[in-house]
């Protein structure tokens, strides 16, 4: 879950995120809320590029607020549990 309303990140946080991405666990889902139109557009373009390169869309959703993000993650979690076994 990503809160784009608090989009400032430190170099240490970016390094941590990079390390976590190297050890990605599958299946997964990312939900982003609070993103501006520009950020949503940039992330959608990135998402489409990843889909073109890999043949699969990255598991990513945009929602309005934290409550919607938590609800979307609950739904994704329920759908992903059977595939994780």
Provide the whole-model pTM.
Answer: 0.68
Buried b (16+ CB within 10 A) or exposed e, 19-49: eeeeeeeeeebbbbbbbeeeeeeebeeebee
* The total number of structural domains that make up the chain: 1
Q: What percent of the chain has pLDDT over 70?
A: 78
For the record, the structure tokens of 54 come out as 């890999």
What tens digit of pLDDT does each residue of 24-51 get? 666 788 899 988 899 899 989 988 998 8
pLDDT at 85 > cutoff 60: no
Domain that holds residue 22: 2-84
């Amino acid at each position: 879950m990503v809160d784009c309303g608090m989009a400032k990140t430190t170099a240490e946080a970016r390094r941590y995120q990079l390390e976590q991405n190297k050890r990605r666990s599958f299946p997964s889902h990312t939900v982003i809320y609070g993103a501006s139109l520009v950020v949503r557009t940039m992330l959608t373009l990135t998402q489409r590029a990843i889909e073109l390169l890999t043949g699969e869309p990255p598991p990513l959703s945009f929602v309005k607020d934290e409550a919607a993000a938590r609800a979307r993650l609950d739904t994704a979690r329920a759908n992903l549990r059977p595939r994780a076994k």
